[in-house]
Amino acid sequence: MNLLERNMSIWTKRVGNLVAAVTIGFAAAPAAAEQLTFERYHQDPPLHGPTVQGPRVAPDGARVTYQRPREGNSDVLDLWQFEPESGEHSELLRAEALIGGTRKLSAEEKARLERERIRESGITHYSFSDTGEELLIPLGGSLFVYRFEDGSVFELSGGNARLDPKLSPGGKSVAFIQDRNLFLRDLAADKPVQLTFDGSDTIVNGLADFIAQEEMRRRYGFWWSPSGEQIAFIQYDESPVQVIERVAIGGDGATLIEQRYPLAGTDNVKVRVGVVTIATKAVTWADIGEDADIYIPRVDWDSSGNRVFVQLQPREQDRLLLLAVDPTTGKARTLLTETSATWINLHEDLKPLSDGGFLWTSERSGFNHVYLYEVDGRGAQPITAGEWLVDKIECVDEVGGTILFTGWLEDPRTRQLYRARLDGEEPSRPHLVTNQEGWHQISSAEDCSLYLDTYSSPEQPPQTALHDGSGERLAWLEENLLDENHPYAPYLNTHSLSEFGTLKAEDGAELYWRMIRPHDARPDGSYPAIIMVYGGPGAQTVRRNWGSLRDQVWADQGYIVFRLDNRGASRRGHAFEAQLHRRLGNVEVADQLAGLDFLKKLPYVQADRIGVSGWSYGGFMSAIMLAKAGDQIAAGFVGAPVTDWGLYDTHYTERYLDHPQDNAEGYELSSVLPFIDGIVSPLFLVHGMADDNVVFTNSTKFMQEMQRSNIPFELMTYPGETHFIRDRTARLHLDRSVLRFFDRHLLRDAH
């Protein structure tokens, strides 16, 4: 049986009837194997096939909207809709139709795209009114309102750089941030009303600061009350944050940027929460305590509008408090407190209920689960429990007394949708709603009546369907079958199936791995391998999903590609994640080296030709693995690494390492630099020269120490690029450069 027949046989066993479409694709593929290259990987149409992005169910359920990459230029997003009643797809808007061309983004808008890791242009953001009758679209600094009733679009007058717009309940006005102040604009009168007046070079109203955006996943800094009569907002004072001078080097020159960047151990912004009443413009400040060195991860209104929920986290991040604030007096009281010996992971699962109670998720049992609280914070009734976990509460059906949530019960490498009841005295086993093994990404109506499921597996690229609350599929938004017309069809003959398995760490902990081999690999052959590493906390790379076709390119170039989730990875319970507390680059390295030993024992792996490759935290891992085990690794790619954790930001770094004053030894031993003399294998260092996240100083400091130790290395820098390489030609150049590096050092016969 040849590999193609073997693949088809395995796929048939795994996916049953679904394999019919896949088999058609294989049968229609060219008889001669066509090699997948990085050149093709970066061209249009995308190899993973037609996909939808950001699908949402309208509040009235009348339609589904989504962003679709433009045919012929997938770096541009257009806005589309699907109407379930008619079954029709139609294009709603293109960016050019709104702004008549391109507009230069402000520095704040560019920074926002960087924080959200959005590479595309076009219509990248939009939001519904709560009635579902209008859309608000920020674009090029301007604000546009689209009305479904007649298809009309109008632009709100009044200048550019209006950030984070939000329609009011009822959709009659829009609030936004301009010149660091909160403004309101009535859609009918189109007249601006300024609500705050103290915005300045250091005082900012209604925006999320750098840390909130980058590390706390809080995009916004203000929230409408349910009545639309008040707005809760965060004001931050960034004057305590030190200014670092960062040189952003582009192809046409260098710019000296003074950036307020809170390095670990230094001062953060000061934050406070206010509520402004629209009619009077009066601001009531929340009494949340005297400690100014705090984080405000989340703010929400309760369903009545009589309380503002404020989540407060001290600098140590070992506690998380939920406060209820009276919006008229500012008086606050604590509803609950979460504590941990290590750190508290943030979530977005506070769900206010109509009776004043609320749902909340917590890792207090060791695994993230759902709890039901009474109006005053008492009760804490567990809705789910067990040695499995909840990823997210997707929606609440109060009438039916149920919730839908994503998570896993059997296999952490999968993500499924489940239903749980709210009225049981004891947690019962949740009902599985999705029934395809793999990875499900859900976007749901608030009442759980409809949901969108973007599903993928190792055999199926992402496909999106609309379902009713019971799980019945109503319609495909994009089926994305691997048939003869699929962009990936020419490469199906060379496609390598993912292999999954487990191995034991030094102390017996079970670690998950994923591997692909060259399509024509022989059992008695011998191939070089690359460990693709991330290794950082809060992440998971071994999933039963479609995965990155970048790995397939490497396999087509003759490499075995190996991924392993070490201790610190997410979705295995807090104890598994927290083992790297106060010391980074230690247990993660030990686990990755266990993976290296596993690879070396495989009969088809060239034990002396195994490399490591990583970006960001993965770049740190590549560097420190080379420093600690350079004699065992043949070569390493180090991309945009943190090399000294004193050069990274407060919230992320101190979450895991604590304050530098309290853990000086941990910071020293978590740096690459003390171990640099152990680097004896070829190393290829890459960094964007305008990186405002992992600042370029990490690499320049690393280079200097390498040079002082007389250690040779290769270097490539990308002018104008940040931590998230945005330009497509630069991404191709990067991939080709890394391939050539490993070809020189791992392949006997270079390409």
Annotated active-site residue 237? The verdict is: no
Q: 109: part of which helix (H) or strand (E)?
A: helix 107-115
Residue 223 lies in a domain: yes
What pLDDT sits at residue 245? Answer: 86
Annotated active-site residue 616? The verdict is: yes
Residue 97 lies in a domain: yes
Among the residue ranges 104-113, 333-342, 346-355, 606-615, the one predicted with the least confidence is: 104-113
Q: Are residues 637 and 655 in the same domain?
A: yes
What pLDDT sits at residue 1? Answer: 35
Asked if pLDDT for residue 706 goes beyond 60, the answer is yes
Q: Are residues 661 and 517 in the same domain?
A: yes
Catalytic residue among 616, 622, 670, 671: 616
Residue 55 lies in a domain: yes
Model confidence over 33-72: pLDDT tens digits? Answer: 688 999 999 999 999 999 999 999 999 999 999 999 999 8
Q: Are residues 185 and 286 in the same domain?
A: no
Closest listed residue to residue 69, CA positions, set 100, 36, 47, 102: 47
Q: Are 293 and 315 in contact (CB under 8 A)?
A: yes
What pLDDT sits at residue 32? Answer: 54
Q: Can you tell me the distance from the alpha carbon of 692 to that of 686, in angstroms, rounded to the nearest whole number?
A: 15
Instruction: Look at the block and give the residue holding tokens 């567990």.
Output: 382
Average pLDDT value for residue range 16-25: 32
Model confidence over 444-482: pLDDT tens digits? Answer: 999 999 999 999 999 999 999 999 999 999 999 999 999
Q: Are residues 727 and 598 in the same domain?
A: yes
Q: What is the CATH number of the domain that holds 183?
A: 2.130.10.10
In which band, very low, low, confident or very high, does the pLDDT at 27 lie, cut at 50, 70 and 90? very low
Asked if pLDDT for residue 21 goes beyond 60, the answer is no
Asked if pLDDT for residue 23 goes beyond 50, the answer is no
Catalytic residue among 397, 644, 658, 691: 691
Q: Are residues 218 and 151 in the same domain?
A: no
Task: Please list, residue by residue across 125-137, b when 16 or more beta carbons sit within 10 angstroms of its beta carbon and e when fewer do.
Answer: bbebbbebbbbbb
Q: Are residues 18 and 53 in the same domain?
A: no
Asked if pLDDT for residue 104 goes beyond 90, the answer is no
Annotated active-site residue 749? The verdict is: no
Q: Are residues 179 and 271 in the same domain?
A: no
Residue 462 lies in a domain: no
Q: Which burial class, exposed, middle or buried, applies to 64 when counting CB atoms under 10 A from its CB (0-12, 13-18, 19+)?
A: buried
DSSP secondary structure string for all residues of 549-563: HHHHHHHHTT-EEEE
Last residue of a domain, one of 175, 191, 207: 191
Last residue of a domain, one of 339, 364, 382: 339
Count: domains in the chain: 4
Residue 483 lies in a domain: no
What pLDDT sits at residue 36? Answer: 95
Task: Output phi, psi for 33, to 5 deg.
Answer: -65, 130
Q: Are residues 535 and 677 in the same domain?
A: yes
What pLDDT sits at residue 118? Answer: 82
Which percentage of the chain shows pLDDT scores above 70?
Answer: 94
Q: Are 69 and 76 in contact (CB under 8 A)?
A: yes
Catalytic residue among 125, 519, 723, 745: 723
What pLDDT sits at residue 103? Answer: 64
Q: Can you read off the two tokens belonging to residue 609?
A: 């030709």
Q: How far is CA 560 from CA 55, 134, 524, 526, 670, in A?
A: 35, 50, 14, 10, 29
Q: Can you tell me the distance from the alpha carbon of 723 to that of 726, in angstroms, rounded to the nearest whole number?
A: 9
Residue 258 lies in a domain: no
Q: Are residues 617 and 735 in the same domain?
A: yes
Average pLDDT value for residue range 111-128: 85
Selection from 34-38, 189-193, 404-408 with the highest mean pLDDT: 404-408
Last residue of a domain, one of 323, 339, 355: 339
Residue 510 lies in a domain: yes
Model confidence over 522-544: pLDDT tens digits? Answer: 888 899 999 999 999 999 999 99
Q: What is the CATH number of the domain that holds 608?
A: 3.40.50.1820
Asked if pLDDT for residue 692 goes beyond 50, the answer is yes
For residue 695, how many other CB atoms are within 10 A of its CB? Answer: 22
What pLDDT sits at residue 523? Answer: 80
In which band, very low, low, confident or very high, does the pLDDT at 162 lie, cut at 50, 70 and 90? confident
Residue 63 lies in a domain: yes
Closest listed residue to residue 141, CA positions, set 130, 127, 155: 155
Residues spanned by the domain of 16: 3-32
Model confidence over 552-582: pLDDT tens digits? Answer: 999 999 999 999 999 999 999 999 999 999 9
Q: Are residues 187 and 201 in the same domain?
A: no
In which band, very low, low, confident or very high, does the pLDDT at 372 lie, cut at 50, 70 and 90? very high
Q: Can you tell me the distance from the alpha carbon of 652 to that of 658, in angstroms, rounded to the nearest whole number?
A: 10
Q: Are residues 10 and 65 in the same domain?
A: no
Q: Are residues 157 and 277 in the same domain?
A: no
